[in-house]
Structure 1
Amino acid sequence: AQGFLLSLPFQYRDSRTDGVMEQVFAQIPRDVLYQRTGIQMMPINTLFQLYAHERMQPGALTSAFRLLLMPDLFHNWLCGSLVSERTNATTTQCWDPKSGAWATDLLDRLKIPTTLLPSVVEAGTVLGEVLPEWRSTLGRSQVIAPATHDTGSAIAATPVQQSGTWGYISSGTWSLVGVELQQPVMTTEAMAANFTNEGGIFGTTRFLKNVMGLWLLQECQRLWAQTGHSSDYDTLMADVDAVPAFAALIDPDDQRFLAPQDMPAAINAYLREHGQASLQAPVAFVRCIMESLVLRYCEVFRQIKELTGANVESVHVLGGGARNTRLNQWLADALDVSVIAGPYEATAYGNALMQLVGLGELHTLQDVRAMAQKEPTMLFSSRPERHAWREASQRFRSMITKV
């Protein structure tokens, strides 16, 4: 591949984007930015990363030849391509889904050079043969672009079998909660609810909201391991039932949980501010996090119904978080719908399916979904416990809507 990285990448939770959203909104009003891009406002978005990068290192972007998102960089190293795949490009907040092109005028207003922007290809596009240096191990393989956004690939692998409206949760460090649509929803109401419109395979739209996800539990486990507390996942899950239900609830999407130094301390600070008792035992934190996530998922699906009219009749939980059987069962109880868990490696499986599209073995969205149905899944049906969840949901909504 020609060219080289100008610097090592930043991790997306880096503090360099602190306060950057407000700086951008001073130049492009929030509503204008949403009306043009349809993307949820989050400091991790590429637009804010680029703006922060230019402020930290003035002139750095003008010295670059091409902007390559991480998956596109790997493609460049494999075959020398200098393109961006659409599903990931749509998430950058630099893309206009209505015109199907980069929103160059927005970048111009922020003095981000648009000459950086690469051509955009669809998932399933053959990018070229692997470079000579890789052929001893890979042969003369074709490099085919999958849906390079990990959630784009995961949703591609959804084993949809039933008719009616289905929702999904791509469950891992983040929980991406949404529905698949044919057109983006970029209304004032969608903006107020902070929903995002991301590209899916075969021209679909992933209308969703990013929820903080199992990051909260992962960070607690990291702190517990450092301080000598038991952090074994299976043990914690086995002990959850010993903790009273709904004793402590948090809003998982509170910004303090994005990158705290001490997640348990951040959770306790939130609880105290909202008139709840601090937690001590690790298993109490686990129950608090899991119940709060389920209630947040329910709130997102309620908003989806308001914004799109879609009444979700079943939910597919995909990715590593789908292994959490208790979380799946609680979700089925709380939503009073069937929950289908799996595939657990949905992103990798969705990648493989789009490789088959590139090779001409699969041709349509229906072909891809039919193949996805061959993967084993686990079904969770709702139980009478849903009444307790309804009461908890009312309490949760009251808590998160307080000014």
Structure 2
Amino acid sequence: MKYYLAVDIGASSGRHILAHMEDGRIVLEEIYRFYNGMDEKGHHQVWDTERLFSEILEGMKKCKEEGKIPATMGIDTWGVDYVLLDKDDNPVGDCIAYRDGRTKGMDEEVYKIIPEDELYARTGIQKAIFNTIYQLMSTKVRKPEKLERARTFLMIPDYFHFLLTGVRKQEYTNASTTQLVNAETADWDHELIARLGYPDELFGELSMPGTVVGPIKKEIESKVGFSCTVVLPATHDTGSAVMSVPCTDENTLYISSGTWSLMGCELEKANCTKKAQTANFTNEGGYQHRYRFLKNIMGLWMIQSVKKEFEEGYDYPGKNPKDDYSFANLCDRAEKETIDSVVPANDSRFLNPESMIREVQKACEESGQTVPITPWELSRVIYRSLAVCYKQATEEIEEITGKNFDSINIVGGGSNAVYLNKLTAAETGRTVNAGPGEATAIGNIGAQMIADGVFAGLQEFRKCVFDSFGVVRY
């Protein structure tokens, strides 16, 4: 049996998923799961990359214990965050997380050099204050010595691949989230980088998903108990998720639903028009130089945050010690409520508030709507608000592209939220196809399998995804 390993690390958890082919279908098995989250350190929110890498190795050891040795493996994570290495390959400072406040005001610093309209026309990437371009500007303005010491720039999955193999590869789909890649050439925009004053030597050749990085180092092999080869997936988790969208008709939109909801379509050529910029759509790099024309919507981060607050003891009338705050129960109970309030879910106020519960309540108060109190009322308001965002994004995509879309394929963990799927179908007036839930891991594995010759290409892989996992229609 030939196995392929996807290490899929999100903003709240990571998991090791093994896959093999059986009777023409892809079979998945979760081997290991671990916690992820931001830490407070030195007045910043940071990722503990050392701990995360130790978790990667632990999951690999579990493969050995199960006697299921992967032939290849690849790692995907969220976008925009990165690690700087010095001349001795040691990290230059902490890996600061995208939700940290250090980028406040850095957009204006960038626009003093590159006007906002020109930046979008060159990169096609939507403005998000946490994008890498603004993170690097914060470093340049406040900690210039860090850039002076840096000799290598690696996005987080690139860094983990480097730790595994000793080989530096900068993968295209994740690099595109930096807002430093040219949408026309699908390569680093070196002129843009020079004008911003970032060290050009940090930005080398970009590699596409399916590229072989190399075998794991001997020291890693001795720790995990086996040898395997690292193959680049689409290292941006949305890039991997979109690879596994099983409904491949041209008139199908997708939503990669997790901490973020990424809603859009695939384009052969980036759409960097003023209309797309005004609607805040982005053109992220995809497999085989496709473009993921999409909008970032706040997503299940809001539900995750509310869930965490209630689990930590947030009080409310009628609270019962036996109350179940699982995602499934929050979703089921929300459907039975009657509150009809909605909030602008994509407003920046919900990006990282001190209390998500209070922020949602304040938004309802300010707009004169009924204020949600219980976990179930809050969940209903959030789910309904997300569905409204999906409707708005659908209309914008159709207006900007001039295309009509009659169905939406929801993939990722959010595809299991039945109530949200029903709301999305009702709000958008489109057929909703939900699944697969493990879309990111499946897409990660798909890039490995295509590279290994299991599938002739993306379409054949997607057909197998549909045959293997199917969808649920709403």
Q: TM-score, normalised by structure 2?
A: 0.77
Give runs of aligned pairs for residues 49-198 of structure 1, distance below 5 A.
49-136=135-222, 137=224, 139-160=226-247, 163-198=249-284
Structure 2 gap segments, 5+ residues each:
1-84, 316-322
Q: Quote the residue 2:350 is aligned against.
A: 257
| 2:382 aligned residue (281, 286, 289) | 289
Root mean square deviation of aligned Cα: 1.7
SS in 1 for 2:296: strand
| Pairing 1:235–2:329 present | yes
Please state how far the C-alpha of 1:226 moved relative to its aligned partner. 2.1
Q: Deviations over 1:195-251 (max 9, x none)?
A: 000111112110000000011111111222223444343333232233225x21111
Please say if residues 202 and 364 of structure 1, whose CA atoms lie closer than 8 Å, have aligned partners that are also in contact. no
Please say if residues 331 and 418 of structure 2, whose CA atoms lie closer than 8 Å, have aligned partners that are also in contact. no
Please state how far the C-alpha of 1:262 moved relative to its aligned partner. 0.6
| Pairing 1:302–2:388 present | no
Please say if residues 181 and 204 of structure 1, whose CA atoms lie closer than 8 Å, have aligned partners that are also in contact. yes
Percentage of identical aligned residues: 36
Q: Deviations over 1:335-364 (max 9, x none)?
A: 222211111111111111101122232232
Please say if residues 436 and 471 of structure 2, whose CA atoms lie closer than 8 Å, have aligned partners that are also in contact. no
Deviation larger for 275-284 or 285-294: 275-284
Distance, in Å, in 2 between the alignment partners of 1:69 and 1:361 is: 28
Distance, in Å, in 1 between the alignment partners of 2:332 and 2:247 is: 31
Give runs of aligned pairs for residues 335-354 of structure 1, distance below 5 A.
335-354=428-447
Distance, in Å, in 1 between the alignment partners of 2:468 and 2:139 is: 42
SS in 2 for 1:5: coil
SS in 2 for 1:59: helix
Distance, in Å, in 2 between the alignment partners of 1:375 and 1:273 is: 47
SS in 2 for 1:118: coil
Distance, in Å, in 1 between the alignment partners of 2:204 and 2:226 is: 27
User: Which is strand-richer, 1 or 2?
Assistant: 2
Amino acid at match of 1:64: A
Give runs of aligned pairs for residues 43-54 of structure 1, distance below 5 A.
43-54=129-140
| Pairing 1:21–2:107 present | yes
| Pairing 1:205–2:291 present | yes
Please say if residues 261 and 298 of structure 2, whose CA atoms lie closer than 8 Å, have aligned partners that are also in contact. yes
Q: How many residues align?
A: 379
Deviation larger for 129-138 or 349-358: 129-138
Amino acid at match of 2:265: V
| 1:40 aligned residue (123, 126, 137) | 126
Please state how far the C-alpha of 1:138 moved relative to its aligned partner. 5.8
SS in 2 for 1:3: coil
Please say if residues 313 and 337 of structure 1, whose CA atoms lie closer than 8 Å, have aligned partners that are also in contact. yes
Q: Cα distance 1:241–1:347, how it changes in 2: closer, same or farther (>3 A)? A: closer
User: Which is helix-richer, 1 or 2?
Assistant: 1
Distance, in Å, in 2 between the alignment partners of 1:268 and 1:328 is: 24
SS in 1 for 2:277: helix
Amino acid at match of 2:243: A
Distance, in Å, in 2 between the alignment partners of 1:190 and 1:237 is: 33
Amino acid at match of 2:398: K
SS in 1 for 2:408: strand
SS in 2 for 1:62: helix
Please say if residues 82 and 118 of structure 1, whose CA atoms lie closer than 8 Å, have aligned partners that are also in contact. no
| 2:369 aligned residue (269, 276, 283) | 276
Please say if residues 240 and 286 of structure 1, whose CA atoms lie closer than 8 Å, have aligned partners that are also in contact. yes
Q: Quote the residue 1:322 is aligned against.
A: 415
Q: Cα distance 1:127–1:233, how it changes in 2: closer, same or farther (>3 A)? A: closer
Amino acid at match of 1:241: E
SS in 1 for 2:334: helix
Amino acid at match of 1:243: E
SS in 1 for 2:146: coil
Please say if residues 39 and 196 of structure 1, whose CA atoms lie closer than 8 Å, have aligned partners that are also in contact. yes
Distance, in Å, in 2 between the alignment partners of 1:226 and 1:373 is: 39
Q: Quote the residue 1:396 is aligned against.
A: none
Q: Deviations over 1:278-323 (max 9, x none)?
A: 2222211111100010010110010000000121121111111111
Please state how far the C-alpha of 1:24 moved relative to its aligned partner. 1.5
Deviation larger for 131-140 or 255-264: 131-140
Distance, in Å, in 2 between the alignment partners of 1:234 and 1:352 is: 27
Please state how far the C-alpha of 1:143 moved relative to its aligned partner. 1.1
Please state how far the C-alpha of 1:165 moved relative to its aligned partner. 0.9
Please say if residues 264 and 397 of structure 2, whose CA atoms lie closer than 8 Å, have aligned partners that are also in contact. yes
Q: Deviations over 1:118-175 (max 9, x none)?
A: 22111001111111112243634221000000000001011125x4411100001100
Please say if residues 183 and 270 of structure 2, whose CA atoms lie closer than 8 Å, have aligned partners that are also in contact. yes
Structure 1 gap segments, 5+ residues each:
382-403
Deviation larger for 106-115 or 198-207: 106-115
Q: Quote the residue 1:244 is aligned against.
A: 338
Amino acid at match of 1:142: T
SS in 2 for 1:178: strand
Distance, in Å, in 2 between the alignment partners of 1:166 and 1:133 is: 46
Amino acid at match of 1:336: G
Amino acid at match of 2:202: L
Please say if residues 332 and 419 of structure 2, whose CA atoms lie closer than 8 Å, have aligned partners that are also in contact. no
Distance, in Å, in 2 between the alignment partners of 1:269 and 1:110 is: 39
Distance, in Å, in 2 between the alignment partners of 1:238 and 1:50 is: 43
Distance, in Å, in 2 between the alignment partners of 1:132 and 1:108 is: 38
